[in-house]
A and B are shown apart, each in its own frame.
Chain A
Amino acid sequence: MATLTPGTVISQRVDNTHDDPRQRAPLVLGGKDFTGVTDTVASSAESKPNLIWWVCFLTAAGFAGLFFGLIGYLFATGVGVWGNNQPIAWGFPIVNFVFWVGIGHAGTLISAVLFLFRQNWRTSINRFAEAMTIFAVICAGIFPGIHVGRPWLAYWLFPYPNQMAMWPQFRSPLLWDVFAVSTYASVSLLFWYTGMVPDLATLRDRAKGKIAQIAYGIASLGWNGSSRHWHRFERAYILLAALCTPLVLSVHSVVSFDFAVAQLPGWHTTVFPPYFVAGAIYGGFAMVLTLAVPCRIWFGLKDIITDRHIDNCCKVMLGTGCIVTYAYALEFFIAWYSGHHFEQFVFLNRPFGNYGVGFLSMVALNCLIPQILWFRWARRNIWTIMIAAMSVNAGMWFERFVIVMTSLSRDFLPGSWAQFRPTWVDIWMFVGSFGLFFTNFLLFLKFLPIVAMAEVKTIMPEAHAHAPEDHHDDPATDGEAH
């Protein structure tokens, strides 16, 4: 950004995807100043929703309604409406749980880990990646909640003094999961909201209608941009980022313990925590791209979420995809190297056995198709990006399906082998959970600041003093986002 001085107006579209180390790539294009950034981002919350929004929203809300209707049907009838059986008691709900909670990880990775690594480009996408996290974790939380068999007793998961004089089993990974996921959900929510308060204040100060003024006024808590407030805010934000970084790694590690602590062949491996975390980030970035690529076009955010941002997301996805591919290969090597009979059988059974189609889909969708992103042109074309992202979205679901189904359906004793067949309720519940996710996400797009305006402004060249009176660190080296 060294070449840009305050007042420089960039009229033509600039290619900011270059990697010239002598010149820092601008992250806000189109000659936008503070006013321009504010106007662009706030306009989506201020304008009336258009027809596309209504069509998407009503469709998504319809599927969300279906989801809750099916949950009602499940409660009224019992878990027999699912295809779950013995030994495949986990079935679709746990596959869907791991799928959704994995997607949630990209949001926290972008907001916390990239923040600690001083990746300024995160500021344009962190808000809606965090929103995606919250909504994905909501979907994730529902599945184990309704899977417990007697969902009206789901509160037994929490430690509280009760008339049975019992405590939950703290040595169980399933209980660790309760703590990990509930901490993750609530801390992500706080992180998201805290970062949003200054931007809600912006919407409050721009709001014309009485209802909007009151609603944004309450939500923004009376934020007035005081430097003393900003000082504590920045400190709290960096503390949250530092706390969320180990948290996000711990959550999917704990989810993987649900599998790895069990004795089942195919699950009982020490590679699971890092492998699951890489997979979660992989799937999460695929969802970020799935949402970001259309949103930046529909909401006119191309100057804020630039080609460089999309390019970076593609690279992260490609990198984590390679880690995941390596983990798949390593699992086969370890199965052979272990000399463990059952382990070897399970891994031969994956490609050639009863769920071979699922395994081959997983390899094709996760390991082969996304490799197109090695090419620069593919990272610049929205169709190749969307194909790669969609492929990973589906592939990561198949990964969880393969992990859950192959091991449970073929354990040690052939007498207890079984096959899982999803019922219509299984399938439509999964589809319905997308409805819930997109309903929430569309409401977010309409009513909340979709880009972290305050943070984007800090990475603009105008945010730094250039006068000789400024006796602090050289602003050129001080251009980190907060």
Chain B
Amino acid sequence: MSVIDAPMTEPMAPEAPAADDVKVYGVVAEYDNVTDVIAATQAAYDAGYRRMDVHSPFPIHGIDDVLGVKPTILPWIVLGMGLLGMATGIFLTTYTMGAFEVADFIPTNLEPYEYLISGKPFNSFAAFIPVIFELTIMFSAYTAVFAMFGLNKLPLLYHPLFNSKNFRRATQDRFFLAIESTDRNFDLETTPAFLKDHRAVSTELINE
């Protein structure tokens, strides 16, 4: 009960003519199983293609190695922001609850507030730990999400690949190997043929 209105298994003509003013973004090859797309990506990498990407409905294990994807720096960003969150928590609690003489230029509403309750100490660090902990988690978790989307350059509401009707199955049940025209080995004739040779179900030229 697919709702896509184009027949999907029918390969489109690889020599789709591009008008003079339209730039070719690249070629996209469709695969119907994980084994083939990994093999084709490995072959493309070995053939010297670098500006390429695999689009799949779920993360494929082992694709990072054949595609040459380097480990992301995201964990380090998250660690840094987590430490910043912890520092924020320590400062917020220890400063605002403390008994400090502050400089004159600090406005009154930024001065610490001394709660005099049963002679309890102003710097009661143990009681501050829950707040410090929650702020650490909050900073790290927000960073994990927003830095991930940022590094992925999302939100991105237009992408040349979305021009392809076939490509809509990239989020459903098909696997796509896209090689960009900016790759130094890219050729309008040989690249689609190369992908065809590596068991692509269909290949398609994508315009910018």
Contact = CB atoms under 8 A, between A and B. Distances in A.
Contact of A227 (B64, B107, B109, B168): B64
Contact of B127 (A170, A228, A235, A466): A170
A462 B131 contact: no
6 contacts: A34-B57, A187-B137, A217-B157, A218-B157, A239-B78, A240-B145
A227 B55 contact: yes
Contact of B130 (A34, A204, A221, A257): A257
Given A161-B110, A167-B113, A222-B155, A235 B60 contact: no
A231 B64 contact: yes
Contacts, number: 243
Interface in A7-63: 33-35, 38-39, 43, 46
Contact of B172 (A206, A227, A478): A206
Contacts of B60: 227, 230, 463, 465
Nearest to A204: B171
- Size class of the contact patch on chain B: 35 or more
A254 B2 CA distance: 48
Given A170-B97, A194-B148, A250 B92 contact: no
Interface string B132-155: 011101101110110111011011
B35 A236 contact: no
B59 A190 contact: no
A202 B34 contact: no
Interface in A122-164: 159, 161-164
Nearest to A214: B157
B54 A227 contact: yes
Interface in B43-69: 53-65, 67, 69
Given A167-B113, A250-B133, A465-B38, 8 more contacts: A39-B2, A162-B109, A198-B171, A201-B171, A222-B159, A227-B63, A228-B67, A465-B60
A235 B155 contact: no
B159 A230 contact: no
Interface string B89-119: 0001100110000000001111111010000
Most buried by B among A186, A218, A457, A465: A465
Contact of B93 (A170, A186, A463): A170
**3 pairs of A and B residues whose beta carbons are closest in the complex:** A236-B148, A34-B173, A221-B155
A247 B137 contact: yes
Interface residues of A, number: 84
B134 A243 contact: no
A250 B96 contact: no
Nearest to B65: A472
Given A221-B155, A232-B74, A239-B78, A202 B138 contact: no
Interface stretch (A174-182, A275-283, A289-297, A349-357): A174-182
A463 B142 contact: no
Given A224-B159, A228-B152, A205 B112 contact: no
A392 interface: no
Contact of A194 (B56, B59, B130, B145): B145
B152 A233 contact: yes
